[in-house]
Structure 1
Amino acid sequence: MLSSNFTVPITGRLNDKRRAFEGPDMSEIDPQAEALLETVETMGRPPTYALSPESAREQLAELFASEGEPVDRVEDFSISGPAESIPVRLYAPTGEDHPLLVFYHGGGWVIGDVGTYDPVCRALSNAADCAVLSVDYRLAPEHPFPAAVEDAYAALEWAAEYAERINCDPRRVAVGGDSAGGNLAAAVSLMSRDRDGPEITHQSLIYPAVASPAVHEFPSHEENGEGYLLEAASIEWFLERYLPNPVDHRNAYAAPLLARDYSNLPSATVLTAGFDPLRDEGREYADRLESAGVSVTRHEYEGMIHGFVNLLDHLDAAGEAIDALGADLKTALER
């Protein structure tokens, strides 16, 4: 576990895998992110792709461990799912009739859970002054695609139907998530439109994983594929477990960049990080939405790495990103 007061010189030299990003923005990595990467490196943590899913889940929980902010009410319960009950955790401010964010955690559809993402959900609830329903969807490889997206959609349907029972407003429901969770939020938005399902007010997509390994190639996959916490080999490891059937590599609900139509989707916030292998696919998804007439707000943290929003105890940019996401949500949910 990283201590909240670790002390590594921020002027330390990065290893050869990492360098100033020489792309169009000519960015340099943020000193706090550099220090954190050096700390992780000195701890000798094995990469995700070298671990079993169980060990990788434990390692992520240790990395993202944090006390989190106080929230007026936190409640764990289960909702009906397509195959089995789905555990969820509700974060609610004081009062009633709250807007609601249905949140899907990241972790490559293989790792992560509501406990790991507790600090982020607390912070988002406070920043947006909304309730947050965090969804513990089924994980691969035990439950490969489409289990996660089916659970994600079931949670949206539940939220729209039963929002009033948890003191929320069914007319103001948003979806969001980071990385694989951003993928699920984007996929659920497409699915709800296609199925004439619940109306979604907004989608908060935090460095979303929206590309298909069979179709898409982006410069950031290679530029940032080693040394920046999420590595290209780990992305491949996740995808092999989530999408074992090659046919699913061309399914738009697995890779939303494959969708043919982006019209009539909810407004979106798309957050990207300069030293993230997923940077360019997030940018491309924002472009696709805008080209279809969807209102998009972009936030790019040029010196940041994948997963930085979870590292609230270590990176100032994490708090700044939460504030930006919260402000966008609050504006969208007040419409």
Structure 2
Amino acid sequence: MWKKGLKAVIIFVLCFAVVTVWSVEKWSQTMQGDLPSKTAVILHAINHNLVSLDTNISVPDFLTPESSTDDGVTMKRKDTTIAAGSNTEIPVRVYRYSDTENAPVIVYYHGGAFLEGYGSLDTHENIIRSLAARTGAVVISPEYRVAPEYEFPTAVEDSYKTLEWAGRHAAEYGGDPDKIAVAGDSAGGNLAAVTAMKARDEGGPDLFAQLLFYPLTTFQDVNFESRDTYDSGYYLLSRQVMLKAREEYTPQQQMWDNPYTSPLHAKNLSGLPPARIITAEYDPLRDEGEKYGEKLHNAEVPVQTVRYQGTMHGFISFFQIMARGDRALNQSADFLDKASSGNVSHSDTYTVSKYDGPSGLTWFLEEAEALAIGAFLVGKSTYNRMMNK
């Protein structure tokens, strides 16, 4: 009897494995091309409501490994507020992992489409914490005010006030006020780029770098291939959300031309700090981020632009389970280290480097993890169908 039972179990396991492999392969095939297995399973989980996500990108609990996101380093976090006008204060969070003095300072602006409910310090804390741990920097991040209650230029003003506050108070947290960089993702990448411009224009803190993760660089109607190809929302950013952001954050059309909303169209980009721009292959914002890098280069600003192939908008938020996201953060930390030492120079030609993904053992582990996640999703989908009958 037990032999029959064992055979039944073996047959079931083999059938389930075949179904899992077939499913992951199917999820990987899209009209825009074949996705890496890890990207495919994450997108399938999100787009088929098999994991609990808010409207912003955050890592599902079952996808998060047990290992610390902070590389085993003890974090010190301080919540405070800064004045942002008469009788108005905005929350600011300060992260620090090192007890050394005169550490570099990073002012980080979280993404979220400039809209209430689409992003916050909490939804982006994993990126901010990890960047602090990998760089040894003091990272200061504001909860800037967003639309629809606050339209442009409130977010820009809050972002710049945070930079000025960092210049005055960084030393209290072990940071060097003479060594500040700005960074951000998506809408926050826009604010980081704009804050760098505003600091130049208004004689603010002298920045040593700007780090832009898949930034939005224009609110204008520009014909970019990536906007037309990847705007369905399947790749975690839709045309609908982009139009909503424009309608509520920049409700007046003349705002779209302002260099502090659309840095891509700024007449003068000279004198800005060295930049590293990271874009994703399957992202509506890909082309405008890379075009902004080209314009910075033409203005003789040192710039490194890297496209991560096989990734979607917001992929760095998944660095805990995506090797590409982990590499993006590591390479960003390396860039900031070199930039703080003045070792990033302007090149003769502008190129967009492309990273195709991991190889060797790392690739094998990515595939194995993708199949494990795929098996979970197949099982959960089957269970949901059974329960709904």
Give TM-score scaled by structure 1 length. Answer: 0.87
Question: Distance in 1 between the 2:214 and 2:227 partners?
Answer: 13
Q: CA deviation at 1:10?
A: 3.0
Question: Distance in 1 between the 2:50 and 2:250 partners?
Answer: 29
Q: Find 1:13's aligned residue among 21, 24, 27.
A: 27
1:301 equivalent to 2:311? Answer no
User: How many percent identity over aligned positions?
Assistant: 33
Cα RMSD (Å): 2.1
Question: Distance in 2 between the 1:64 and 1:157 partners?
Answer: 35
160-169 or 277-286: which moved more? 160-169
Q: Find 2:121's aligned residue among 114, 126, 148.
A: 114
Q: CA deviation at 1:14?
A: 5.2
1:40 equivalent to 2:9? Answer no
Q: CA deviation at 1:234?
A: 1.5
Per-residue CA deviations over 1:142-186 (Å, capped at 9, x if unaligned) read 111111010000000111122212211011000010010000001
Q: Find 1:223's aligned residue among 215, 218, 229.
A: 229
What SS does the aligned partner of 1:10 have? helix
Q: Find 1:81's aligned residue among 84, 88, 95.
A: 84
Mark the CA change 1:29 to 1:61 in structure 2 (over 3 Å): closer, same or farther. Answer: closer
Per-residue CA deviations over 1:286-327 (Å, capped at 9, x if unaligned) read 000001110011221011100000012332211111111111
Q: Find 2:290's aligned residue among 283, 287, 295.
A: 283
- Structure 1 equivalent of residue 3 of structure 2: none
- Structure 2 equivalent of residue 29 of structure 1: 35
1:202 equivalent to 2:188? Answer no
Q: CA deviation at 1:45?
A: 8.7
Per-residue CA deviations over 1:70-116 (Å, capped at 9, x if unaligned) read 54311111112235212111111222211000000001111211111
Q: Find 2:240's aligned residue among 233, 240, 245.
A: 233
What SS does the aligned partner of 1:144 have? coil
What SS does the aligned partner of 2:276 have? strand
- Structure 1 equivalent of residue 102 of structure 2: 97
Q: CA deviation at 1:270?
A: 0.5
1:331 equivalent to 2:331? Answer no
Structure (1 or 2) with the larger CA radius of gyration: 2
- Structure 1 equivalent of residue 55 of structure 2: 59
- Structure 2 equivalent of residue 124 of structure 1: 131
Per-residue CA deviations over 1:251-309 (Å, capped at 9, x if unaligned) read 11011112001110000001001110000000000000001110011221011100000
| Maintained 8 Å contact 1:88/1:135 | yes
Give TM-score scaled by structure 2 length. Answer: 0.75
Structure 2 residues not aligned, in runs of 5+: 1-19, 343-389
| Maintained 8 Å contact 1:64/1:310 | no
What SS does the aligned partner of 1:249 have? helix
What amino acid is the match of 2:225? P
Question: Distance in 1 between the 2:209 and 2:320 partners?
Answer: 28
Q: How many correspondences in the alignment?
A: 310
76-85 or 99-108: which moved more? 76-85
Mark the CA change 1:308 to 1:295 in structure 2 (over 3 Å): closer, same or farther. Answer: same
Question: Distance in 2 between the 1:267 and 1:301 partners?
Answer: 20
Mark the CA change 1:308 to 1:62 in structure 2 (over 3 Å): closer, same or farther. Answer: closer
Question: Distance in 2 between the 1:294 and 1:13 partners?
Answer: 41
What amino acid is the match of 2:244? W
What amino acid is the match of 2:89? S
What amino acid is the match of 2:226? S
Mark the CA change 1:299 to 1:276 in structure 2 (over 3 Å): closer, same or farther. Answer: same
Per-residue CA deviations over 1:194-234 (Å, capped at 9, x if unaligned) read 112211110001101001234x2211100111121111122
* Bigger share in helix: 2
Q: CA deviation at 1:59?
A: 3.2
Question: Distance in 2 between the 1:44 and 1:241 partners?
Answer: 30
What SS does the aligned partner of 2:279 have? strand
- Structure 1 equivalent of residue 199 of structure 2: 192
Mark the CA change 1:239 to 1:118 in structure 2 (over 3 Å): closer, same or farther. Answer: same
1:314 equivalent to 2:321? Answer yes
